[in-house]
C-alpha cells in the first residue's frame, strides 16, 4: 500500500512539473483518449477513474477550461452528454507521454526483475478479473 502512495505522489509531482496536470487529470485524458471516438459519458468516465463524483466534476471542469476536453450532446440521447478529447488535449497527452513513461520506469518498473513483473502481471490480472465475476 505504501508503495502505491509513494509512486502515485512521485508521478503526480512529475506530471505537475512537466505538463501542468495532476496524475488524476492525466489519467482522465488517457481514458477519454482511449474511449469511443464519439466520446464517453461522465458516469462511465467516473467508473474508470479513481475520483469521486464531485472530484470528477471539478477535474472535468478544469480540463474543459484548459481546452483539453470538450462536451457534446449525445446523439442517441439528447439529454446526455459525451466528453471528447480536443486536438489540444491529444497534443498535451502526446507531449507528456515520454516523460510520464520515464517516471513510471524510474519510480516503479526499474525496481522489478522480469520475474517480479511476470508475477505481478498475473496477480493483478486475477484481481482485476475478480471484480467482473
What pLDDT tens digit does each residue of the chain (133 aa) get? 799 999 999 999 999 999 999 999 999 999 999 999 899 999 999 999 989 999 999 999 999 999 999 999 888 877 789 999 999 999 999 999 999 999 999 999 999 999 999 999 999 999 988 866 5
The CA radius of gyration of the chain, in Å to the nearest whole number, is: 16
Q: What is the pLDDT of residue 132?
A: 64
Q: What is the pLDDT of residue 77?
A: 78
Architecture of the domain delimited by 2-132: Orthogonal Bundle (1.10)
Q: Closest Cα partner for 31 from 21, 22, 44, 19?
A: 44
Spatial distance between the Cα atoms of 74 and 80, rounded to a whole number of angstroms? 5
Q: What is the pLDDT of residue 65?
A: 97
The residue extents of the domains of the chain are 2-132
Q: What is the pLDDT of residue 133?
A: 54
CA-angle at 32, arms to 95 and 43, nearest 5°: 150
Phi, psi of 76 (to 5 degrees): -95, -10
Query: What cell numbers appear for 47 in the block?
Result: 467508473
Spatial distance between the Cα atoms of 61 and 1, rounded to a whole number of angstroms? 30
Q: Closest Cα partner for 19 from 92, 81, 69, 74?
A: 92
Amino acid at each position: 500500500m505504501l508503495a502505491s502512495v509513494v509512486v502515485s505522489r512521485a508521478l503526480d509531482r512529475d506530471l505537475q512539473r512537466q505538463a501542468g496536470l495532476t496524475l488524476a487529470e492525466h489519467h482522465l485524458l488517457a481514458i477519454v483518449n482511449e474511449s469511443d471516438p464519439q466520446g464517453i459519458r461522465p458516469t462511465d468516465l467516473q467508473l474508470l477513474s479513481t475520483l469521486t463524483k464531485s472530484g470528477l466534476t471539478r477535474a472535468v471542469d478544469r480540463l474543459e477550461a484548459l481546452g483539453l476536453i470538450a462536451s457534446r450532446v449525445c446523439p442517441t440521447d439528447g439529454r446526455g452528454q459525451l466528453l471528447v478529447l480536443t486536438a489540444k488535449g491529444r497534443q498535451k497527452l502526446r507531449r507528456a507521454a515520454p516523460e510520464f513513461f520515464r517516471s513510471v520506469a524510474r519510480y516503479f518498473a526499474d525496481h522489478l526483475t522480469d520475474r517480479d513483473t511476470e508475477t505481478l502481471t498475473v496477480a493483478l490480472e486475477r484481481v482485476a478479473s475478480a471484480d467482473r465475476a
